[in-house]
């Protein structure tokens, strides 16, 4: 994407009333106005589902379309990518969708205790270098952040093409004595009728075409 197109998308992002862009300095100095009060933004008390590292928001908008009785929030730092999800939600007249542009490290500044029902982490950077293990979105440091706002019966979904991240996350879940609800290292070869199969991201389609297998893990952290 050219720099010109990125700038155009950044400018258009400013016109969306369902996009919140908060830097570290701003969120720590001012706080987030809807923390603990997301029901006021959505104007309902429906369950809230997050997609962390959402990219273009393909799961955010795909799940929101399938579940109008729930609210969905995509989180990513890349504004040009979020633009696609924002545009799709606007064109589809989807009032149950919002996006936050921020770093995942700051996520617990945006949600209060027991405010989130479910988390999706779809094809995150596996951070394969040992020195970057702490950056993995399913690592102990991040899971502890999620625990601050995920409901007691809430779940985390990981969908990845990375065997390293899949096996790493399973080990983190075991060491944390968390409950695994579903686990497969080849999602599309399973006979189970799972909703996670219904949405395939752009890059997922590419990886499947290359013969890569998709891993899926659903677990609790309380």
Beta bridge partners of 99: 19, 74
State yes or no: is 125 an active-site residue.
Answer: yes
Rounded CA-CA distance 70/120 in Å is 14
CB neighbours (10 Å) of residue 148?
15
Going edge to edge, which strands form the sheet with 180-184?
A: 19-21, 97-101, 71-76, 48-52, 116-122, 150-160, 215-219, 180-184
* Residues facing residue 176 across a β-bridge: none
**One of 108, 125, 161, 192 is an active-site residue; which one?**
125
Residues labelled catalytic: 125
């Amino acid at each position: 994407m050219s720099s010109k197109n990125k700038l155009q998308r950044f400018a258009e992002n400013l016109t969306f009333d369902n996009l919140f862009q908060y830097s570290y300095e701003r969120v720590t100095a001012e706080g987030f106005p809807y923390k603990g009060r997301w029901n006021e933004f959505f104007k309902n008390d429906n369950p809230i589902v997050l997609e962390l590292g959402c990219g273009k928001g393909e799961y955010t908008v795909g799940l929101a379309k399938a579940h109008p009785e729930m609210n969905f929030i995509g989180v990513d730092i890349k504004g040009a990518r979020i633009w696609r999800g924002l545009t799709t939600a606007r064109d589809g007249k989807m009032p149950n969708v919002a996006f936050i542009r921020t770093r995942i490290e700051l996520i617990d500044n945006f949600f209060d205790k027991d405010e989130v029902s479910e988390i999706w982490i779809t094809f995150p950077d596996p951070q394969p270098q040992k020195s970057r293990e702490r950056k993995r979105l399913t690592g102990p440091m991040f899971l502890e952040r999620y625990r601050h706002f995920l409901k007691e019966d809430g779940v985390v979904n990981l969908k990845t093409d990375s065997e390293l991240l899949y096996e790493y996350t399973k080990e983190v879940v075991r060491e944390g004595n968390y409950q695994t609800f579903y686990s497969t290292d080849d999602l599309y070869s399973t006979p189970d009728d799972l909703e996670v199969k219904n949405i395939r991201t752009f890059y997922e389609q590419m990886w499947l075409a290359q013969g890569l297998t998709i891993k899926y893990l659903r677990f609790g952290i309380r």
